[in-house]
Amino acid sequence: MYTSIIATVLAAAVIKAAPTSTGSIFPSRTVPLTRVTHSVVAGRAGQLIFDPQNVVAQVGDIVEWHFLPMNHSVAQSSFGSPCVPDADVSTSFFSGFQPTTSGQAPNVFQFIVKDSNPIWYYCAQGNHCESGMAGVINQNFSSANTLDAYKAKAKTVQKTVIPPVVQGGAVIPNPNPLGGF
């Protein structure tokens, strides 16, 4: 009895594993990549903005932030609390600060979109978030939770909070340092 249950589980595992040899054994924590990358530029033309600040992405797409002068970052927040790390700090992303005095910073930050829920984020430098340096992935365009509403609330924030750890994505060498951003 016991043996046959184990045999059944093993058989199922083998059948499932065979066609997805490069897949993960943690399907709930990973998604198949679409190979689509959305580039976002932080601080274009010396302004405290993300460009584009509104990205529509599929699950499995990558969002890749490129950092211009002087010293920006991306940090995930909830819609309701702009400029503050998401309450679920363990699952929210932070790129760390990516300073550069000219051109692009040597590293970019890559984040894999894992579901279709809106993802709100801000720059954790100084008062950049209060000044409007915020963006969203997959805003719900039928909802009152707009980026403009996020930014309006951000203006009232007393102090932007820097997340404690770099996580939730990959800091990697800039694959396109002369991209003309």
In the complex, the residues that contact ligand NAG under the rule CB under 6 A are 71, 97, 99, 125, 140, 142-143
- 143 binds, options ligand NAG, Cu ion, none, Cβ within 5 to 8 A by partner type: ligand NAG
**Identified binder of Cu ion from the candidate list 72, 109, 136, 137, rule CB under 5 A:** 72
Instruction: Say whether residue 151 binds Cu ion (CB under 5 A).
Output: no
Q: Which is nearer to Cu ion, 61 or 84 (CB)?
A: 84
- 140 binds, options Cu ion, ligand NAG, none, Cβ within 5 to 8 A by partner type: ligand NAG
| Closest approach of ligand NAG to the CB of residue 69, in Å | 10
Angle formed at CA 39 by CA 81 and CA 100, multiple of 5 degrees: 80
x/- contact string, 108-147, with Cu ion (CB under 5 A)? ---------------x-x--x----x--------------
| Closest approach of ligand NAG to the CB of residue 97, in Å | 4
Contacting residues toward Cu ion, per CB under 5 A:
72, 123, 125, 128, 133
